[in-house]
Amino acid sequence: MFHGGLLSKLRGFYKWYVLGLVSVGYILGELGHYLIGTTSKVTADDLHYGDRSCMLNATHLHLSQLPVICEKVNSSEICESLSLNGTYYCEWGYNGLGIDYQVLAGPAFMAVFTVVGVILGVVADKYNRARILSVCTLVYVVAILMMGSVKEYWHLVILRMIMAAGESGCNPLATGILTDLFPEHQRALVLSIFNWGIYGGYGIAFPVGRYVPTLNAWGLSWRLCYYSAGIVGLVIAALTFLTLREPERTTIGEEGTGKPTDGVESGKKMPQVTIWHVIAQPRIILLCLAASIRHCGGMTFAYNADLYYRDYFPDVDLGWWLFAVTVGIGSVGVVVGGVVSDKFVSRMGVRSRVLVLAVSQLIATLPAFGSVIFGPLWAMITLAFSYFFAEMWFGIVFAILVEIVPLSVRSTTVGVFLFVMNNVGGNLPILVDPVSKAIGYREAIMIFYAGFYGISSILFFLTMFFMDGAVEKPEDKTNGLDNSAYIQDETRHRPVQDARL
């Protein structure tokens, strides 16, 4: 009896354990993804890629003390001749920026991430998601581990592509598993916590990428960052393989039952549609466009934040500030966004989730500009305020997505959605380099970061008008996934003859 009671209690915690496990795995994957942005200067200096410029090399000096600012000098001879009280305070070297870096950070990763993500999304709808996720986790943690051993720039490019292939399965696979484990009233919060892994990994990359290389432990410099993340990742991969089990898929009826139905809760069968019919809906297209623009804003900041603040404030160490803002403030914003979205969805329907998206991104826009315009102190204050509202978006977007598509193509739809969103949002930041050379680095960041926050807010607001309001349910749902929003739309706009998968 005691044994049975204990097992019953442990089973009650299993879904939270799964959430923790896949979230930690996602954090490690994103840490490996974003480490290139925080280690790029020292990595570029070691592997010799990207632009070279004049940089401050005397950390005890402040910009106000310098007769000539290093970053304003475009000649190596002049750069290395600048001195103050007999001390040469500038150095000419690789700054971690340039088209090589932008390609490495964006397209090299996204090209594979997006394509393989779609493939794995299709596979996830037909095969054991837990086992596929285990393999994906192993692939990307091994790639992260091997990044510490690279000797050439192209080695790093290839390994980032392999890492992207593995990590591309995390979101569609884990999203499907989590939505089968958790009920509707917890869905946005759970997916927000999981998708916070992006910002958790990104935030942790600041102190790891800034301070671990300076320790130069065992002479490994920046390589230790990748070795450490890879070793921890191997433990997570082992736990994923040994403890993660495929949950029962909460589909709305089984194909072939031949029972016509119009209700989700009674297990009745919904019309079968192709993935193309699903993604061609105006609301899906608008939601994807808005998410792509918002993603571009986030990726621009993620790939350039450390380099930007190092470039404009070389005499101020903002590493721990950036960590505190992205991980601390961002975490609170993620949770608040999920809770607010879940609270109103039962009253206003899926439309309320989109409203939360539009309002949160609008509020985040103005302080996002401030985080680029102001000096170090106010830049961090406005960044914190912006981050609180900005980071509400990711989990809510996927909560919306799983509620407005049929369950039979849920993972496939997530994969296709990520394909488009990451191809647009993940590759547009490459334009930062040519635009910065034309009008300035700060101005380019303002456009592609803060400006795109504002544009996404407008697009999310327009998307809201294509969504359904509250849906009458025969009974409250206690577990599984409710796709009644999709069914209601499907019954209104069903084609004459449904296409079969």
Q: List the beta bridge partners of residue 84.
A: 87
Cα atoms in the Cβ-side hemisphere of radius 13 Å centred on 416:
20
Average pLDDT (379-385) is 94
pLDDT at 461 (0 to 100): 94
Residue 482: which residues within 8 A CB-CB, separation 6 or more? 184, 264, 265, 403, 473
User: Which amino acid appears at position 309 of this protein?
Assistant: Y
* CB neighbours of residue 233 within 10 Å: 25
Q: Which pLDDT value is given to residue 412? A: 77
Mean pLDDT, range 306-312, rounded to an integer: 87
Which pLDDT value is given to residue 448? 95
pLDDT at 103 over 90: no
Single-letter amino acid code for the residue at 143:
A
Q: Which is higher by pLDDT, 7 or 191?
A: 191
Measured distance CA(263)–CA(484) in Å, rounded: 8
Q: What is the pLDDT of residue 341?
A: 67
Contact indicator for 221, 213 with CB cutoff of 8 Å: yes
pLDDT of residue 346: 55
pLDDT for residue 470 is more than 70: no
CA angle 164, 51, 431 (to 5 degrees): 55
Rounded to an integer, the average pLDDT of 24-31 is: 92
Q: How confident is the model at residue 66 (pLDDT cuts 50, 70, 90)?
A: confident
- Looking at per-residue pLDDT, the higher value among 68 and 492 belongs to 68
Strands 87-88 and 83-84: antiparallel
pLDDT score at 425: 86
pLDDT band at residue 43 using 50, 70 and 90 as cut-offs: very high
Tell me: pLDDT of 70 over 80.
yes
Q: Compute how many other C-beta atoms are within 10 angstroms of the C-beta atom of residue 374.
A: 15
Average pLDDT over residues 193-206: 81
pLDDT for the residue 12: 67
Reported as a pLDDT band with limits 50, 70 and 90, residue 9 is low
Judged against a pLDDT cut of 90, whether residue 343 lies above it is answered with: no
Greater confidence (143 vs 279) lies with: 143
Q: What is the DSSP letter of 447?
A: I
Would you state the pLDDT for residue 349? 67
pLDDT band of 220, cuts 50, 70, 90:
very high
Mean pLDDT of the chain: 81
User: What mean pLDDT do residues 57-73 have?
Assistant: 81
DSSP reduced 3-state for 301: helix
Instruction: Tell me the percentage of the chain whose pLDDT exceeds 90.
Output: 32
Determine the pLDDT at residue 1: 41
pLDDT computed for residue 413 by the predictor: 82
Higher pLDDT, 498 or 447: 447
Q: How far apart are CA 50 and CA 246, in angstroms?
A: 45
* Other beta carbons within 10 Å of 251: 18
Confidence band (pLDDT; 50, 70, 90) for 141?
Answer: very high
